[in-house]
Amino acid sequence: MRLALLLLVVVHAVHPAVAAKRPKPEPCAGGRFLVLEGGPLVAEAGSPRFDAVAIAAGQVGIDSGCAPARVKLKATKKGTVVRARWARCGSARAVKLQATIAAPACDTMTGVRKAKKQKAVRFRAVRSRCGDGAVDTAGGEACDQGAGCTAGQTCDDARCACVDPPATTTTSSTLAPATTTTSTSTSTTTTLPAGVCGNGTIDAGEPCDLFAAPSGCAGGQQCDLAAGQCACTAIPASIGKTVAFSLPPPPDPSTLPLPQTEDGTRYLNVGPGGMLTVPDAPADPLTAVARCTGWITACVSPPDRVLDDCARSAPHCTTGQPWLETERCCPAACFAAYEAQRQAGASAMLAFRTTYFTDASCFPGVAALLGND
């Protein structure tokens, strides 16, 4: 009897849970996934700088050569399985795509592209978003994180769109909390807030801006930050001085608050050329850029060591493959390019961003890796 009562209690307790239906997994939303490893998926002449798998309106396409076709999506616990096939993609025949968008974040895709008489191509991709640092022109982005706009324009990072600086004439030469200006295009009066030094635009009341090109200063002058405001100062006769600095030991990667891929790999940054992972960053030119700029930024400690000093003092690479060198280093050509920017009137921060990130041609192999050669 006691056993029967116990069984009755147990059955009564678990029955509702047993009878309840488990919720079905929800499929990940469509979008564009930029291929970081394994691309381009369709190797054809004129392929885009970086490939993408685009899912929308029940179809999937591949930027490098597969037109949108019907896609089959199946939601599972691990993610959304993507399947599609094409009779032909360029010269490739009987093309099949199978990939998984990892749940629950739905931000990464791993898969394989197969074709008749061709070796299978395995790839990894990440969801394209405004602000990820990759200018996804096919996805409607004109710029991203300040890169991609023509001279005289700035990137609206909230929309990844290039915008012209406001065409205004200033009625006062001193910086005030608000300055009344007149638009030359509409002849209407607009009240603008005080300019923010470093927003890339020479706002009303600002003589220059740290990230504007041109800076707004006269020849022989640079834009600098003085008492929290932009100001034009004389360009130093010599850019930077040699300072002593030793990089402290790196922190334990397991303690860093870094994002992770679905397989638990921690990474520093994702871009069209690849992924910088921790602790095993790929030995490629982008790693060399990260190692060099990491040394410079760690060195900066005003007023003892300013950006000019650290750019000049960074250890020089001794080979044409700096990503394989044991110690962090910067190519000598990089400081030469940085110095030329500074002597032309660029602020230290603009020269640093242009030399080491926007251009980065002073690093061997970067142009080829990003498809810009």
Token pair belonging to 141: 């982005």
Does 336 have pLDDT greater than 80? yes
Higher pLDDT, 330 or 186: 330
- Lowest-pLDDT choice from 32-36, 153-157, 236-240, 293-297: 153-157
Label residue 126 by pLDDT band (50, 70, 90).
Answer: confident
Label residue 253 by pLDDT band (50, 70, 90).
Answer: low
- Lowest-pLDDT choice from 19-33, 79-93, 215-229: 19-33
67 exposure class (CB count in 10 Å sphere: 0-12, 13-18, 19+): exposed
- Cβ atoms of 347 and 223 within 8 Å: the answer is yes
Q: What is the pLDDT of residue 287?
A: 85
Token pair belonging to 51: 């490939």
Q: What is the pLDDT of residue 273?
A: 54
Using CA atoms, how far apart are residues 146 and 142, in angstroms rounded to an integer? Answer: 10
- Please tell me which of 53-57, 188-192, 286-290 the model is most confident about, judged by mean pLDDT: 53-57
Q: Which residues of 301-331 are buried (b: 16+ CB within 10 A; e: fewer)?
A: eeeebbbbbbbbbbeebeeeebbeeeebbbb
User: What does the pLDDT average to over 55-65?
Assistant: 91
- Lowest-pLDDT choice from 11-25, 113-127, 155-169, 341-355: 11-25
Higher pLDDT, 268 or 301: 301
Angle at 13 between CA 11 and CA 15, to 5 degrees: 60
Q: What pTM, to 2 d.p., does this model score?
A: 0.44
Q: What is the pLDDT of residue 22?
A: 66
